[in-house]
Structure 1
Amino acid sequence: MTADRSTSVDTPAPDSLERYSRQVRFAGIGAEGQQRICQSRILLCGCGALGTVLADTLVRAGVGFVRIVDRDFVDLSNLQRQVLFDEQDVADHLPKSVVAAKKLARVNSQVTIEPHVADIDWRNIREFAKDVDLIVDGTDNFEIRVLINDLSLETGTPWVYAGCVGSHGQTMAIFPHESACLRCVIEVPPDAGSTETCDSAGVIAPAIHMVTALQGATVLKILAGRKDLVPPQLSIVDVWDGSLRQMNLANLRDKSQCPACVQGRRDWLNGGNASQSVVLCGRNSVQISPAFPAVIALEELERKLESSGTVTRNPFLVRLTLNNPSYELTIFRDGRAIIQGTDDINVARGLYARFIG
C-alpha cells in the first residue's frame, strides 16, 4: 500500500524564515544553511522509535521534503517511545507513516511530507530514493540497513545510520566512496536470533532520544552544507551508565577489503541476499527464511523471549505465543520462522524483525 498524495500546504516564499529564527541564529547553520535545509529532500526509512523522533526533529527544522516509508501499524507498546502516536491511533489501527504524516503536517505546513505504507526491499528502494539528497535510517533490522548501504554506494547518495536497543545505541554517517561504509564496520549482518532486539532486551526512551540527537545533528550538518563538520567516526552511547565514545573510522576503508565499497559487490541490492517470505496457503501463516541460514541456540532464544509472551521449546524449535494481538511465532534452528495469525507478509516480517532480529 502506498499513499497517493503528499501531505503539504503551500510553500512560503524562500525568505520566510521567521519560524526558524533561533536555528538561523545558530552559527553552525545561519541563513544560508537554513535555506539549504529548506530545499533539501530526504528519505526516512522506518517510522518507529528512531523514525518518529527524527521525523519530528527534521520537520520542525524545516527540511523541505520528507518521504516516510514504513510497513507497520501503530501498536500500544509503541507509545512508550514513539513520539508521534497516541492511544487513538492504536484504537484506529492506522499505519505509522500515515499517522506521522498527518501529525507532522500540523507541526509545519511548509514541509512536504510523502507517506508510504510499504516494506522496503531490493525491488522498490531505488524508486523511494531516486530523487533525495540524503537517506536517514529509522529502521529496526540489519537487512534493510545493508540494503540502504548498497543503494548508497550504487547511487552516490549519502546516508546516516543509527541503531538502538536497551539503554545503548550507535550512529555514523556514510559518504559513499569517501568514508567507511556500514559493511566496513559490520561485514555481514548478525545471524537471526543472535542479537538482542527491543522486544527481547527492551529499550528506554532516553536512549532513543540520545541516539537521534546525535543522528539528527549529523543530518542537519549535511543538509546545511557543513559536511566538513561530520567526523569519520562511529558514536556509541549508553544512557544508563552515562558513557559516550567515538570509534575513529578515518582509515578503515583503505585498510579493509570491504565487499561492498572496495570490491564493488551489491549483495543485497541485486536481491541475492534478500530474506524470503512465503504465504502458506490455507494456514493464515507466513514463512520467513533469513538470507543466511544460521544455527540458533534455542535455549538462549527461549530466555530472550520469555518476557514477550508464552514460550515453549523442544529440541527442534522455539514457539512464542502472543495474546494481544494473537500471533504465534515458531522459530527453527536454522533461523526460519512461521508466523501464524496473519497472511500479510509485511506484518510477518515486522514480527520477525521485532522478536528474532
Structure 2
Amino acid sequence: MHEQTEDIWADRYDRQIRFAPIGAKGQARLANMRALIVGCGALGASLAQHLTRAGVGKVRIADRDFVEPSNLQRQMLFHEADALAVLPKAVAAAEKLRAINGSIEIEALVTDVNSMTITAAMENVDLVLDGTDNAATRLLLSEACFARNIPFIYGGVAGAEGMSAMLIPGQTACLRCLIGDEASVEEELNCDTAGVLSAAVDFIASLQAVEAIKWLSGNRNAVRKSWVVADLWRFSVREFTLPGCTPGCHICGGLADENIVQLNLPRSESIARSDVLAHREERKHRLQAGTDETPPAHAWSQTLAVALCGRDSVQVTLPRTFQLEQWQVVFERLGYEIKANRYLLKIGLPDGERLVLFPDGRVLVQGIIDADKALRICVRYLTDPLEMQAEEEART
C-alpha cells in the first residue's frame, strides 16, 4: 500500500477530515484498511468509486465479466471505449480508479468468485462488499465472511427498488438466516426480469459505502444495525432492525457474543425472515405479473452452467484452461469474427451465438439462456483446437 502523508490528508481529504466522526485519526485508519468488492457492475462500480475517493488503503475488485454497451446506462466507471475494447470490468474499473486516486492500491481480479476461488479473493481483507447480481454468490460470500469473522455488506437492486444491510459475525444473523437458501430465492427479482434504474443503484451503493466507511474508519458504534428497503420510484423507505445470531445455525449460530451491545433503532420495526420473503413476494407479483418463468436447467448442468442476470448469457466453467493465442489462430483461420485482448477472446459463431473465452477456463455463451444448449455449444466448438479446425475445414 502506498504511504499516505499528512500533507495528502490535508489536501485531498480535507472535507472528509473536517467531518468530526472521521477526522485525521479516522482518515489515517482508512489508509490502512483493505476492502474487497465482489462484482463490478452497477453496484460494484459505484462502491469502488466511493471507497477510492474516501482513501481506503487497498481496494480489491473481483469480477468475471467484461464491459458491453448495455452496461453504460448504469455502471458509472465505464466508457464506450471500454466496451469497444471488450475489457474485463475489473481491469477497466482499476484503470479509472488509479486515475482517481494514485495514492492507494487498486487490485483487479478477473475471476468468478466461487467456492474454489473465494479464499484467494478474501485474503487479507477487512471488509467485503456485495456488488453481485445473484443469490448463490451472495450466500457464499456471507458464509465465507462469517467463517473468517469479516463483516459483509449486502446490497441488491432491481427496477427502482433496492435493499441493503451490514451483516457482522457475532452480532447479526447471516444472510442465509434472513433470506433462506438458494431454492427459496431463485425467483427473486433481478435486472433481467425488472430492469434497473441507475439512480436506484447509486442510492443503495451509498447506503453500503457509508457503512463501510464507518467500520473502516473505526466508527463501529455508529454502524446501522438494520435492513433497509427502498423504492425510489414510489419513494418509500422501510427499516427493519436486524436480528442477532440464530441459535442452531451452522453459519452464525455459534458466533454470538453476549458482551456485544445490540443497538436498538426506535424508528425501526423488527425484521424476521418472513418479512423479507413477504416483501419479495409482493415485488414479484407487482412488477413481474404476466411474465413467463424460465424452466430450470437439469441438475447436472447447474454445477457447470449459470445464467447471468440481464445478459442472455450462460457462464460455463470447464475443467481446463485456455491458451487464448492458440484459439485465436484457429478461429481466425476459420474466418470467424473475433475480438481479442490479453484478457479474453470473443468469437462470433455462425448461428448467431457468441463465445467469450477466459484463460481460467470460463466461457460465456452469449445469445442464449438455456444451460444445456450452452454446454452443447461448448462441446462442439471447444474441444481440441486442432481437431476442431480439421472438422470445420472438412465441413466446408
Q: Which residue of 2 aligns with 1:307?
A: none
- 1:257-336 to structure 2, matched below 5 A, reads 257-262=248-253, 275-277=302-304, 327-331=366-370
- 1:2-81 to structure 2, matched below 5 A, reads 11-13=3-5, 16-17=8-9, 18-81=11-74
CA 1:329–1:259 in 2, change beyond 3 Å: closer, same or farther? farther
**Higher gyration radius (CA):** 2
Any runs of at least 4 consecutive aligned residues in structure 1 with deviations exceeding 3 A, and if so which? 190-193, 256-259, 285-288, 321-328, 340-344
Cα deviation, 1:259-300, whole Å, max 9, x if unaligned, reads 421279xxxxxxxx9951169xxxxx9768xxxxxxxxxxxx
In the alignment, the residues of structure 2 paired with residue 55 and residue 274 of structure 1 have an alpha-carbon distance, to the nearest angstrom, of: 33
In the alignment, the residues of structure 2 paired with residue 113 and residue 327 of structure 1 have an alpha-carbon distance, to the nearest angstrom, of: 30
Aligned with residue 166 of structure 1, among 156, 159, 162 = 159
Alpha carbons 2:354, 2:367 under 8 Å: kept = no
In the alignment, the residues of structure 2 paired with residue 54 and residue 278 of structure 1 have an alpha-carbon distance, to the nearest angstrom, of: 28
Aligned with residue 202 of structure 2, among 209, 215, 222 = 209
Q: Which residue of 1 aligns with 2:99?
A: 106
Q: Which residue of 2 aligns with 1:227?
A: 220
In the alignment, the residues of structure 1 paired with residue 372 and residue 33 of structure 2 have an alpha-carbon distance, to the nearest angstrom, of: 40
Alpha carbons 1:327, 1:342 under 8 Å: kept = no
CA 1:275–1:62 in 2, change beyond 3 Å: closer, same or farther? farther
Post-superposition shift, 1:48? Answer: 0.2
Q: Which residue of 2 aligns with 1:353?
A: none
Query: What is the count of residue pairs matched by the alignment?
Result: 285
Aligned with residue 240 of structure 2, among 215, 239, 247 = 247
In the alignment, the residues of structure 2 paired with residue 13 and residue 246 of structure 1 have an alpha-carbon distance, to the nearest angstrom, of: 39
In the alignment, the residues of structure 1 paired with residue 156 and residue 87 of structure 2 have an alpha-carbon distance, to the nearest angstrom, of: 25
Aligned with residue 186 of structure 1, among 166, 170, 179 = 179
Alpha carbons 2:72, 2:79 under 8 Å: kept = yes
Post-superposition shift, 1:66? Answer: 0.6
Matched letter for residue 103 of structure 1: K
Q: Which has the higher helix share?
A: 2
Aligned sequence identity (%):
36
Alpha carbons 1:329, 1:337 under 8 Å: kept = no
Gaps of 5+ in 1: 1-7, 265-272, 280-284, 289-320, 345-357
Alpha carbons 1:101, 1:113 under 8 Å: kept = yes
Alpha carbons 2:66, 2:87 under 8 Å: kept = yes
Post-superposition shift, 1:227? Answer: 1.2
Alpha carbons 2:305, 2:375 under 8 Å: kept = no
Gaps of 5+ in 2: 256-299, 307-313, 318-350, 356-364, 380-396
Alpha carbons 2:151, 2:168 under 8 Å: kept = yes
In the alignment, the residues of structure 2 paired with residue 192 and residue 85 of structure 1 have an alpha-carbon distance, to the nearest angstrom, of: 30
Q: Quote the RMSD (CA, aligned, Å).
A: 2.9
Instruction: Calculate the TM-score normalised by the size of structure 2.
Output: 0.66
Instruction: Calculate the TM-score normalised by the size of structure 1.
Output: 0.73
Larger RCO (alpha carbons 8 Å, 6+ apart): 1
In the alignment, the residues of structure 2 paired with residue 75 and residue 139 of structure 1 have an alpha-carbon distance, to the nearest angstrom, of: 17
Matched letter for residue 329 of structure 1: I
